[in-house]
Structure 1
Amino acid sequence: MTGRLRDKRIIITGAVGNIGKAAVEAFVAEGARVVIGDVDVARGEEAAAAFGPAVRFVPVDVADEASLAHLVEAGVDWLGGLDVLAQNAGLMRSGSILDFDAAAFDRLFAVNVRALFIGARHAIPHLKKSGRGSIINTASLAGKRGGPGLTAYAASKGAVIAFTTTLALELAPERIRVNAICPGWVDTAFNQPIIDFMGGPEAQAAKVSAMVPLGRQGQPHEIAPLFVFLASDESSYVTAQSILADGGAFNG
């Protein structure tokens, strides 16, 4: 531990998935205290127990405003304040536009976009008190560069990028920074719907090899350092950014 996040008080959603769990591990290793929120109660409690006394689990359904408000308030109570809100919960759905109905589209936006708006609204008063707040939103390469089968998902992540940029400008006078992380292909179960749409793992591997200059998928531990950087005072002059971690795919 180098203590880059010593005394930082962090709430993170989507904390038990591959990228979220790697981010929590990195936060704790750098000295932060972390409240982890997720809809998966069993895995959340298991993760909190494994991480030890610096971590507490609070169940949350980010699509439900009351649940999300409870996460923020319970987290602030336990942490004694709030310095960082990492909004990592997300939903992946894929398929042609003709296979999507309005309910599926609305559910995607409820989790990927609306939840970030609500989470920020509840967290901002506490971040103002800290005087050094940071909001980290998880977007995606798909929000900058879509593809077949990703119409709804890419639209939701594009909205996250626009939300991040605009909120950063609004909150700059309050010394609250807002940035987004945009992972490309990362080796997680989260991507299974688009892998299935592409025709399975072999077809997906061929696509990754062709589109990613580094020639491979990323790993969750390669995304986690961006969470640490954006949570830390090292990024004190970084705001309104959507940072790609995509192996060069956007420019490939």
Structure 2
Amino acid sequence: MTDRLRGKRVLLTGGVANIGLEILQAFLAEGATVTLVDIDATRGEALERELAPRVRFIRTDLTDASQIAAAVDAAQDWMGGLDTLVLNAGIQLSGAIDELPVEKWDLTFTINVRANYLLVRAALPHLKAAGKASVVMMSSLAGKRGGPGITAYSASKAAVIGMTNSFALELAPHGIRVNAVCPGWIDTPFNKPIIDFMGGRGAQDTLVARAVPLGRQASPAEVAPMFVFLASDEASYITAQAINIDGGAYN
């Protein structure tokens, strides 16, 4: 623990499992106070009990604009301010172009894009009041380089990169930095839909061996430190970036 985030008041979405849980643990290890926003009440409430008093859980349906606004206000009230948004929540729904239901396309954009916009919009008065603030959004290598079966996911993550750039330029005069993290192949259950579409873990391992210069997937613990860095004062001159963590796959 180096206290790089001591005093940071953080709202983290999607932090009860996978990469999000690693981000939560890394932020706590660096001294942050975290409001955890997720739809999974069972896991979220268990984490609050385990990690109190530095974690509070707010069950939030990110398809509901009113719940998003209420969660931001509750986080601000509990922490006495808000200077860091970590927008990690997302979904991956895979399928061929002519087979993916339009409803799944719409849900992908509702969670991966619209919710992030609404969270930043609701938090903006608090971020401005903080004097200097950081927003870190979860994108994906898929947002820079698509692939079969992930059209909706790739398009949504490309939109996150576009939002990152626009937010960063608009909010820079207020001292608010905005960046995105773009993981490649990460060994997590989140990727099960695309693994199933590819034909199973064996097909995925073959692709990773061919496409990733480091020859393997990353663990979630190898992604979380980038979120810590971008939220910290060490990254005070970094904004409007979409940073890859991909073992060299995007080159």
Distance 1:194 1:48 in 2: 31
Q: Which residue of 1 aligns with 2:26?
A: 26
Q: Which residue of 2 aligns with 1:189?
A: 189
Deviation beyond 3 Å, 4+ runs, structure 1: none
TM-score by length of structure 2 reads 0.98
Distance 1:60 1:183 in 2: 25
Distance 1:45 1:227 in 2: 23
SS of the residue aligned with 1:12?
strand
Q: Which residue of 2 aligns with 1:162?
A: 162
What whole-Å deviation, never above 9, does each CA across 1:19-54 have from its counterpart, x for those lacking one? 111001010000010000110000011122222311
SS of the residue aligned with 1:134?
strand
Q: Which residue of 2 aligns with 1:37?
A: 37
**Structure 1 position 162, deviation (Å):** 0.5
SS of the residue aligned with 1:228?
helix
What whole-Å deviation, never above 9, does each CA across 1:90-135 have from its counterpart, x for those lacking one? 0001111101122111110000000011000001110000011111
Q: Which residue of 2 aligns with 1:219?
A: 219
**Structure 1 position 71, deviation (Å):** 1.1
Gaps of 5+ in 2: none
SS of the residue aligned with 2:250?
helix
**Structure 1 position 223, deviation (Å):** 0.5
Q: Which residue of 1 aligns with 2:239?
A: 239
Whether the 8 Å CA contact 1:25–1:51 is kept in 2: the answer is: no
Whether the 8 Å CA contact 1:94–1:149 is kept in 2: the answer is: yes
Distance 1:83 1:119 in 2: 13
Q: Which residue of 2 aligns with 1:72?
A: 72
Amino acid at match of 2:61: D
Q: Which residue of 2 aligns with 1:53?
A: 53
What whole-Å deviation, never above 9, does each CA across 1:120-166 have from its counterpart, x for those lacking one? 00011100000111111100000001111111110000000001101
Aligned-residue CA RMSD (Å): 0.7
TM-score by length of structure 1 reads 0.98
Aligned identity (percent) is: 56
**Structure 1 position 70, deviation (Å):** 1.3
**Structure 1 position 61, deviation (Å):** 1.1
**Structure 1 position 67, deviation (Å):** 1.0
Distance 2:215 2:130 in 1: 42
Distance 1:72 1:92 in 2: 24
Q: Which residue of 2 aligns with 1:173?
A: 173
What whole-Å deviation, never above 9, does each CA across 1:209-238 have from its counterpart, x for those lacking one? 111111111111111101100111000000
Amino acid at match of 2:150: L
Distance 1:196 1:53 in 2: 40
Whether the 8 Å CA contact 1:36–1:58 is kept in 2: the answer is: yes
Distance 2:141 2:100 in 1: 21
